[in-house]
Amino acid sequence: MMMRTLALTTLALLYARPLLALEQTTAPASCDQPQHRQLDFWLGDWQVYDGTTRQLVAYDRVEKSYEGCVVEERLSFLTDMYRRPGVQARLAGVAINRFDGESWLQMWADNQWGAIVLRGALNAAGDMEFLTVTPSRHRDVKLIYHMHVDGTLEILQYVAPAGSGKWTQYGDLLYRRNR
């Protein structure tokens, strides 16, 4: 009888351990904190233009899901702007964004270049700025989301050799709401 009680107590402790770990997280239990609305400016259906040529290059849909905790992006290019050499399809990809209690975490995956993980927060100018967590193909990526007063969203894209901090702009995308 004592062995059975000991075995049941041990099982109870083993099953309780994951619950204790969950209770120790710094992430809020609900997603209704002001930080969870920091990407709301990005929500919607968008036409995406090359900032230099003003040519329509893509469509992007950005939505909240999972009780407003996750911001999902689905981007599909209409042009060869970011097509990888030798790949028949145009760039298409998804991003999953989640505020983790301290900053935003973004995981991007696509059909051309692979996947990348970035961390984001509001910068001194009030723009959302994402930086790579781990370099991808020996380079760092920085994305700055700037909302203009006319409702246009501009996403500036920068790249640098891993760890160098020597940023070079490689993209300027202008988002206009798809009406």
pLDDT, tens only, 64-102: 999 999 999 999 999 999 988 988 999 999 999 999 999
Would you say residue 164 has pLDDT above 50? yes
Tell me the mean pLDDT in the region 39-49: 97
Instruction: Provide the pLDDT for residue 2.
Output: 52
Instruction: Tell if the pTM clears 0.85, that is, is over it.
Output: no
So where are the chain's domains?
Answer: 34-177
Q: Which of 8-22, 66-80, 95-109, 150-164 has the lowest mean pLDDT?
A: 8-22
Q: Looking at the domain that runs over 34-177, which CATH code has it been given?
A: 2.40.128.20
CB contact at 8 A, 29 and 160: no
Strand partners, 65: 70
Buried-exposed string 58-89: b where 16+ CB fall within 10 A, e elsewhere: bbbebebeeeebebebebebeeebbeeeeeee
